[in-house]
């Protein structure tokens, strides 16, 4: 096809496969990049300085860093669970028949969706008490718990939007068919609308989870001993040697990559599958 015009027009976009970079898969490229990062510390090690090689040091610290990383995952899963539960409620609020409920849910959603995650985390950290007094019962609020609360707020707002968007994306004929069969609104929602939405919500929800997992390192800024905090402490304990920075932080990167990349791939596959079915 030729477009006869002298106006500067945008040509039709042809969808491309992910750029094949000298015939390597993305994960191979990342591995090479990491090695390149970490390489200099090998070289340094071979000069024969009688100290432990950076990798041996990293090896010693790895179990602790792994534990820290698992803590990140615990935070991410908890914040996701809490945020999803609250967000689902808020999302249903956004499609409520009551104007007041709708307006309230919309406002809360927009407020938390447009707030920087770090600021929300700070708010949760410094506004929540360190313990809650329920008559005789004292429920402590440790830092990690506040971090979960803080991170669940933006998750909640995003889940709320995902729910609303999925419900709105269904053709109105589904509502009308259900109404004309005398289903109540509640039945329509739970038996007909929401089951169809789950499929549509899954990819963006998993995407959100990936983003949340990577955002858990923000908790290091407010002093939770997750992987970044521990890495910093380990480096300090080793005397802050600059050649250790790359292997240590490279290791942390690798951990996140190994966890998040498969999720991303799986999300893409789900999206493709659902796109075909619809």
Minimum distance from residue 252 beta carbon to another protein (Å): 42
CA angle 272, 277, 278 (to 5 degrees): 100
Interface positions with another protein (CB under 8 A): 171, 173-174, 176-184, 187, 191-192, 195-196, 277
**Distance between CA atoms of residues 145 and 128, nearest Å:** 10
Nearer of residues 9 and 276 to another protein, judged by Cβ: 276
**Distance between CA atoms of residues 178 and 47, nearest Å:** 76
Minimum distance from residue 184 beta carbon to another protein (Å): 7
Minimum distance from residue 90 beta carbon to another protein (Å): 24
Nearer of residues 113 and 199 to another protein, judged by Cβ: 199
Q: Which residues are CB-neighbours of 128 under 8 A, at least 6 positions away?
A: 141, 146, 149
Minimum distance from residue 193 beta carbon to another protein (Å): 10
**Residue 215 near residue 225, CB atoms below 8 Å:** no
DSSP 202: H
C-alpha 238: how far from chain center: 31
The token pair at 266 is 């799986």
Nearer of residues 25 and 273 to another protein, judged by Cβ: 273
Nearer of residues 1 and 277 to another protein, judged by Cβ: 277
Minimum distance from residue 18 beta carbon to another protein (Å): 30
CA atoms within 13 A on the CB side of 202: 15
For residue 140, the cross-strand partners are 131
Nearer of residues 147 and 178 to another protein, judged by Cβ: 178
């Amino acid at each position: 096809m030729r477009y006869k015009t002298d106006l500067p027009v945008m040509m039709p976009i042809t969808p491309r496969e992910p750029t094949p970079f000298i015939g390597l898969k993305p994960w191979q490229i990342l591995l090479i990049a990491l090695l390149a990062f970490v390489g200099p510390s090998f070289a340094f090690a071979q000069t024969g300085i009688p100290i432990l090689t950076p990798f041996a040091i990293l090896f010693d610290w790895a179990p602790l860093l792994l534990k820290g990383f698992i803590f990140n995952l615990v935070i991410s899963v908890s914040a996701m669970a809490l945020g999803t539960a609250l967000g689902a409620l808020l999302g249903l609020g956004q499609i409520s028949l009551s104007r007041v409920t709708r307006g309230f849910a919309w406002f809360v959603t927009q407020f938390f969706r447009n707030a920087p995650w770090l600021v929300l985390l700070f708010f949760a950290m410094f506004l929540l008490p360190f313990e809650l007094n329920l008559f005789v019962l004292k429920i402590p609020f440790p830092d990690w718990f506040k971090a979960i609360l803080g991170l669940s707020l933006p998750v909640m707002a995003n889940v709320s939007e995902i729910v609303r968007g999925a419900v709105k994306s269904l053709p109105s004929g589904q509502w009308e068919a259900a109404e004309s069969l005398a289903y109540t609104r509640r039945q329509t929602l739970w038996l007909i609308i929401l089951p169809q939405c789950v499929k549509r919500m899954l990819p963006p929800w998993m995407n959100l989870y990936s983003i949340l997992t990577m955002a858990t390192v923000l908790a290091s800024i407010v002093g939770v001993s997750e992987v970044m905090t521990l890495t910093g402490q380990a480096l300090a304990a080793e005397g802050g040697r600059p050649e250790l920075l790359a292997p240590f932080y490279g290791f942390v990167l690798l951990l996140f990559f190994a966890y998040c990349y498969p999720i991303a791939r799986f999300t893409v596959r789900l999206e493709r599958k659902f796109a075909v079915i619809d």
